[in-house]
Chain A
Amino acid sequence: MGADIVEGGPVDENGRDDGGHGEHGAHLAGQHVLLTGATGFLGQATLEKLLSGYPTTRVSVLIRPRGSMSGADRLRKLLRKPVFARWRERVGADEVDRIVAERVTVIEGDLSAVRDLPADVDVVIHGASTVSFDPPIDEAFDTNVTGVVTLYEALAAAGADPHVVHVSTAYVAGVRKGVVAEASLTHDVDWRAEAAAAESARAQVETASRRPEVLRKVMAEARAEHRKAGPQAVVESAEPARVDWVHKRLVDYGRTRAQSLGWPDVYTLTKALGERAAEQMWGHTGHRLSIVRPAIVESSLRYPYPGWIDGFKMADPLIIAYGRGILPEFPGLPDSVLDLIPVDFVVNAILAAAASPPPPAEPGYFHVSSGARNPLPFRGMYENVHAYFSRHPMPDSERGHIQVPSWRFPGTTQVERMLRTGERAVELAQRTLMRVPASDRTRTWMRSVHRRQQDLEVLRTYADLYQAYTQAEVIYDDSRTRALHDALPAERREVHGFDAAEIDWEHYLQEVHFPGVTASMRAFSSRPRSKGSADDALPERTDVAAVFDLEGTVVASNTVEQYVWVRLAGTPRSEWTRELTDLVRSLPRYILAERRDRGDFIRTFMRRYEGVDEAELRRLVADSVGDALLQRTMPEAIRRIREHRAAGHRTVLITGTIDVLVEPIAPLFDEVVAGRMHSRDGVWTGYLDSPPLVDEARAAWLRRYAENTGVDLSKSYAYGDSYSDRAWLELAGKPNAVNPDPALYRHAKRKHWKVQNWGQHTRGRLDALTGSVSSEVNR
């Protein structure tokens, strides 16, 4: 999101030299502020405000090094973000550097290990917090509870006695109805016990995840999905599935524990327990403590410029999802209050609270919210969103604009039912599609089912997560916050005020907030869709290979079809019926074998070739069977192979089909790896000479081939059509899914592989049979 979305008002001019006058201590003048969570949404805005609006205040920021970036690096990066753009424009880049060098100190570290804190700190603004509502339980406790403890321990260790402004959330009040006062929470949950339990949860779950019952289930699922791709693929997906299981389980631990104690989610639970820890460790031990509880923080109304926001905040994904037309209904109560508050109000309230510490041992509580005096009902929010997107619809790629739905607020039960029906339908459709034969049409269906599933997932996530917030029949009293605001000198209110009553919701939402949050989405979805079909020109080089699968990739036929050609071409017409009946009778057996394992199938099926005279077969292939194969080739594949050749690439064919049968197209390849039948005195015994080269065996072969020939696989090309080709397709730097089966299609989409749609001029099964094979018989 660029800084130039909304033009700044006259506020900036006023804000320039304000807060500068006044004696030491008033409005933080000359004070030393320690800020945690400076890189977060609230933290950035607070830092900016301190730097631009409090010219004599020194700031220490606690920043955790990340990767190769030190805390100081991260601060430098932070200062280039849009939130600082207006200030930077106003004072100039050099001045920014000077001010930062003079007034900002970086303390490298994080809340799990706070190093020595400066002893001369006057104010601590503790804004660090988890960003997610649904983190695993141990992570949530780590940041929101244990982190708090560490901070207060470190402060105590440093011998400092600052006023701590502890940023919490209004929703710590938990699941309740009616008015919530600005006071200490009334609960008797033992935060130490909960934190300890959360800490040990991971170890328990990790242990549990290794129990055979769990692993067996994970394996079974992995096998069901990936067996076709080979045993290695199964294993490779089983372990991530276990890790995922652990994660989900810990999230469930968190949410369920929170709900059992009266909070909607682990985020609000841990924030509530964090408050209690702050009270016990700081507020009630003779120190000054202010607890600021903002409601849902959204983009700024005025400062640093209208509409500034960093990433998506809580309500924003909902807004976007609505604008994209994927929320047909939502389980919110139309009359419940959606308690939004612009970020600049929250920052101002935090800094105002910071500047007016409560007496020691008597913590102050402030709700920064709008619900009490300027409520925005959920219905009002909906009306604004609807009006906004009706006026400014989101672009729908190249198909005009998206139409937004109208909500009727049918109530939770019905929305839930609708959701569940939708999910079942999608699941069924998906399971069906995985079993039907691959075709262009099924791939179109898959795409739409996939999209529908994503939409439903979004809807499900939001419905579950935000239900508590959009159904809240709770009002956060903000009279103390208001008193804090009223205590501001009149001339400071314009720039440093935070009176929720002055928000004009229609203006704020439609003119300020929505344009801000949708800007990046608009830019994204109005990008022209890629044309997709055009293949890149092939670079000329001799150290790469182009590897092709045969069946379904180069030719549209399969082992059974080829067998039919051979048999019908080689037997008189009178015996066709017997031959075909026998084949059809055995089909179920083959299908079962194919399901089980591709290699098994080939082994079983090839037995049918028992007794075939190899010389006679060669003649048939040269005459009619080869012609049938050519009828069933995909001209695009042939062209692609020839292009690879022309570019100097080695062309390789890997197939389980018998070598004799692929002879008509063998000249296209530098290397043909095909099956070979065992023969005795020129007659086939029905056994293979060596195991069929399928799934991961092909990958192994390809790896060795690359080593022996010096081919650079990472620059090579691979073309396959089936999920069983996954292993060796993945080896190549440029994998292509050709008319993929549903499983490979899904995989290719996820991995952004090229999906080729070949075979436009390929002849039909019957044409090949009547056109070629029967001409053999006619003579």
Chain B
Amino acid sequence: MSRPGFVLTVDERTPPLLMHEGEGFRLERLPLGTRVVYPPDSLKPLRNVDAHIQHALLNPLGSEPLPELLRPDMRLTIVFDDLSLPLPQMQTPDVRQRVIEHVLELAAANGVDDVELIAANALHRRMTPAELKRVVGERVFRSFFPERLGNHDAEDSANMVEIGTTKHGEVVELNRRAMESDLIVYVNLTTTPMSGGPKSVSVGLASYRSLRHHHNVHTLRHSRSFNDPPNSAMHHSYERMADLVGDHVKVFTVETTLNNDTFPSSTGFLNKREWEWNVADQASYLAVKRGNDLMPAKARRKVWQKTVAPYGVTGVTAGRPSDVHPVTLDNVHRQQLTEVQGQADVGIFGLPYICPYNVNSIMNPILVMSLGLGYFFNLYKNQPIVRQGGTAIFYHPVPHEFHPVHHPSYIDFFDEVLTQSTDPAVLEKKYEEQFATDPWYIQLYRKSYAYHGVHPFYMWYWGAHALEHLSEVIFVGGDRRTTTRMGFKAASTLADALEIASHTVGRSPSITYQHAPPLVVADVR
């Protein structure tokens, strides 16, 4: 049994604490009285993952065992979570590969011939062949690519099908092959409470027509937080859609969860609480920090992007989605949930080098915004760690960099749209449609490796709740030009940031620092 999460109150004896800031990190001395939220210690992984997978497939929840669902003349579609999970990528073999191999073995044993594998990338960029191979493994890749292993294409209208409309009028348009299968096996990886469950099929295989019903400003402002499904309007929408999917096609889901071994042993100190660093940790901090600062920017990015996590698997559950997901959520909470008493005037977050949309890519300013005000701000249950009208302080250099192939519409969004307004509702009304239907972006999404034209808007909506909740957003070490463009402030030090914040939260604000990654969800009472 590992130690539970912990809230530290900074006092005179507290050492400087680790703060992620993009492709780097620092030790920062925080004001006395600051509360620091740590996740529970990394859970012990399952020892024999294959055995657990086998067990889950043969003893599913709310469903017949998988072999009983398989017949020779059936159409089987295996759908798996895409590159955006987990972060960073996990050491091979990826748990998805293991699950898929087991499923395929059972399918083969039961004489299923018509099998197709689809990455549930929705409007994300296509995965490259190399990336697909990394997730599904050499053997599967060689047998199925490219004819029967590929990416979901939400703009291939011939291969999309509208299966109906929810009672709220939400159109559900999904991948035709999957919808016209006899069985979908969804291979999932859940690393935050927002993922998995109803989201898997109804979001991962959807089109813009369908996604717009929950990926919008109104829904996101009423998802408090989107990591707390019962209180998330977005998840309510997912569930309505998932119900419709359930009526239409049989879905057998396999959900897996990971522990918090986010960083490899060479940077093991990043997984530990600072006052518990031993001499080796301190030495390796100094060496890694120094080496990292000295490295040329390109090389540094390469090193960080090549980092893989030695994640351990903490749970494998299979069966009917609605029966499986509560178990999964419980596993996630076990690893990530830490109780915090009350909100603070100021919340501090150190933003790391990676988010779901810059794997093997570049974290551009808009992705920084969505990581900070979207993902990190929403890592809470009940209420945000910052009070309404409070200030959020993020650590990130917010460099003016974009990946021209992966994020072409982001560049235009940043230069053409954000210069007009930063209000999510205005952007949604005036520009979303134009970007979403732009034939050039669609072509790049389908044929190249670009995120869909509408994706930067979703990223911006991701922060809509935080934008409404906070009165001030400050980036320590942020590029003044990019932060100003996005309507935020830049400060060179924490002291300066608190000085700026003093106009809204006073001279001696209460402060909470959410210490992540490894990820922690604050259960704020």
Contact = CB atoms under 8 A, between A and B. Distances in A.
Whether chain B is bound by chain A comes out as yes
Interface string A77-108: 00000000000000000000000000000000
A637 to B, nearest CB: 10
A761 interface: yes
Interface in A715-772: 760-764, 771
A667 B444 CA distance: 10
B382 interface: no
B447 A761 contact: no
Contact of A627 (B411, B412, B440, B448): B448
B439 A667 contact: yes
Contacts of B405: 627, 630-631, 763, 771
A778 B411 contact: no
Contact of B412 (A639, A771, A778): A639
B403 interface: yes
A635 B404 contact: yes
B412 A667 contact: no
Contact of A664 (B129, B411, B448): B448
A779 B141 contact: yes
Given A630-B444, A775-B128, A779-B145, A762 B449 contact: no
Interface in A657-673: 664, 667-668
A290 to B, nearest CB: 71
A236 to B, nearest CB: 38
B130 interface: yes
A763 B411 CA distance: 14
A626 interface: yes
Contacts of A761: 401-404, 411
A557 to B, nearest CB: 12
B89 to A, nearest CB: 15
Contacts of B440: 638, 642, 667-668
Contact of A626 (B128, B141, B401, B447): B447
B133 interface: yes
B415 interface: yes
Contacts of A642: 440
A638 B408 contact: yes
B341 interface: no
Nearest to A776: B129
A626 B129 contact: no
B405 to A, nearest CB: 5
A633 B403 CA distance: 11
Interface string B61-75: 000000000000000
Interface string A2-22: 000000000000000000000
Contacts of B412: 635, 639
Interface string A513-532: 00000000000000000000
Nearest to B145: A779
B443 interface: yes
A631 B415 contact: no
A647 to B, nearest CB: 14
A630 B412 CA distance: 16
Contact of B130 (A626, A760, A764, A778): A778
Contacts of A776: 129
B141 A635 contact: no
A664 B411 CA distance: 19
A775 B400 CA distance: 27
A69 interface: no
Interface string B109-142: 0000000000000000000111001000000010
Given A626-B447, A627-B448, A664-B447, A633 B404 contact: yes
A630 B404 contact: yes
A763 B447 contact: no
Contacts of B411: 635, 639, 761
Interface string A288-300: 0000000000000
Contacts of A771: 360, 405
Given A627-B448, A639-B415, A778 B404 contact: no
Interface string B170-193: 000000000000000000000000
A697 interface: no
B444 A775 contact: no
A775 B130 contact: yes
A364 B298 CA distance: 84
B408 to A, nearest CB: 6
A763 B79 CA distance: 32
Residue among A635, A760, A764, A778 facing the most chain B CB atoms (10 A cut-off): A635
Contact of A778 (B129, B298, B401): B129
A387 interface: no
Between B145, B400, B403, B416, the greatest number of chain A beta carbons within 10 A of the residue's beta carbon is seen for B403
Interface in B489-517: none
A622 interface: yes
Contacts of B415: 639
Contacts of A634: 404
A526 to B, nearest CB: 27
A627 B449 contact: yes
Interface in B144-203: 145
Nearest to A668: B440
Given A626-B448, A639-B415, A778-B129, A762 B404 contact: yes
A776 B415 CA distance: 33
Contacts of B439: 667
A332 B360 CA distance: 67
A623 B449 CA distance: 10
Contacts of A623: 129
Nearest to B439: A667
A113 to B, nearest CB: 64
B187 to A, nearest CB: 21
A761 B450 CA distance: 14
A622 B447 contact: yes
Nearest to A641: B440
Nearest to B361: A771
A763 B439 CA distance: 23
Nearest to B402: A761
Contacts of A779: 129-130, 133, 141, 145
B133 A778 contact: yes
B408 A635 contact: yes
A627 to B, nearest CB: 6
Nearest to A768: B405
A111 B453 CA distance: 74
A631 B404 contact: yes
B133 A763 contact: no
B443 A667 contact: yes
A623 B404 CA distance: 17
Interface in A590-645: 622-623, 626-627, 630-631, 633-635, 638-639, 642
B523 to A, nearest CB: 40
Contacts of B400: 760
Contact of B403 (A638, A639, A763): A763
A642 B441 CA distance: 11
A763 B402 CA distance: 9
Contacts of A764: 298
Contacts of A622: 447
A32 B455 CA distance: 87
A775 B443 CA distance: 21
Q: Which of B400, B443, B448 has the most CB of A within 10 A?
A: B448
Interface in A277-295: none
Contacts of A633: 404
A765 to B, nearest CB: 12
Interface in B395-434: 400-405, 408, 411-412, 415-416
Nearest to B434: A646
A775 B129 contact: yes
The 9 closest A-B pairs by CB, nearest first: A761-B402, A779-B129, A775-B130, A778-B130, A635-B411, A630-B405, A761-B404, A635-B404, A775-B128
8 contacts: A627-B405, A638-B408, A642-B440, A761-B401, A761-B404, A763-B403, A763-B405, A779-B129
Given A626-B448, A668-B440, A763-B405, 7 more contacts: A627-B405, A631-B405, A633-B404, A635-B412, A771-B360, A775-B128, A775-B130
